[in-house]
Amino acid sequence: MASTLVVVQFILGILITIAVLLQKSSSVGLGAYSGSNESVFGAKGANSFLVKVTVILAALFVINTVTLSFIYSSSKDDSVVDMVGAVPASPSTATPAAPAPVAPTAPAAPASK
Reference 50, options 65, 64, 30, 73; nearest CA is 30
- For the segment 3-60, what is each residue's pLDDT rounded down to a tens digit? 899 999 999 999 999 999 888 765 555 555 555 444 555 555 566 888 899 999 999 9
- For the segment 60-82, what is each residue's pLDDT rounded down to a tens digit? 999 999 999 998 887 666 666 66
Separation of alpha carbons 36 and 82, rounded Å: 61
Neighbours of 54 (CB within 10 A): 17
